[in-house]
Amino acid sequence: VGLYYSLMDWHHPDGMTCLTDMKARRRYLDYVRGQLNELMSNYGQIDILWYDVPYPMPDAKSWEMSKINGMIRKLQPGIIINDRGHLQEDYATPEENLHAAPTGRAWEAAMTFNGSWGYMDSPDEDYRDARHVLFMLQQVAFSGGNLLLNIGPEPDGSVPPPAVKRLTQVGNWLRDFGGEALYGNVDRAQGLDALCNYVEWTRKGNTAYVWFRHWPGERANLGYFKGTVKKATLLNRKGDKPVKVIQENGTLSLAGLPKTCPDKIMQMAVVKLECASRPRRQMVGHYA
Residue among 152, 221, 211 at smallest CA distance from 177: 211
DSSP string, 42-92: SSS---EEEEE---S--SHHHHTHHHHHHHHHHH-TT-EEBSTTSS--SEE
Q: Which residues pair with 110 in a beta bridge?
A: 95, 148
Task: Sort strands 2-6 and 48-52 into parallel, antiparallel or unpaired.
Answer: parallel
Residue among 205, 202, 194, 264 at smallest CA distance from 236: 264
Contact 258/240 with Cβ under 8 angstroms? no
CA distance 92 to 84: 8
Question: What string of pLDDT tens digits covers the 288 residues of the chain?
Answer: 999 999 999 899 999 999 999 999 999 999 999 999 999 999 999 999 999 999 999 999 999 999 999 999 999 999 999 999 999 999 999 999 999 999 999 999 999 999 999 999 999 999 999 999 999 999 999 999 999 999 999 999 999 999 999 999 999 999 999 999 999 989 999 999 999 889 999 999 999 999 999 999 999 999 999 999 999 999 999 999 999 999 998 899 999 999 999 999 999 999 999 999 999 998 765 543
Longest dimension (CA), the chain: 74
The pLDDT of residue 284: 64
CA distance 282 to 223: 9
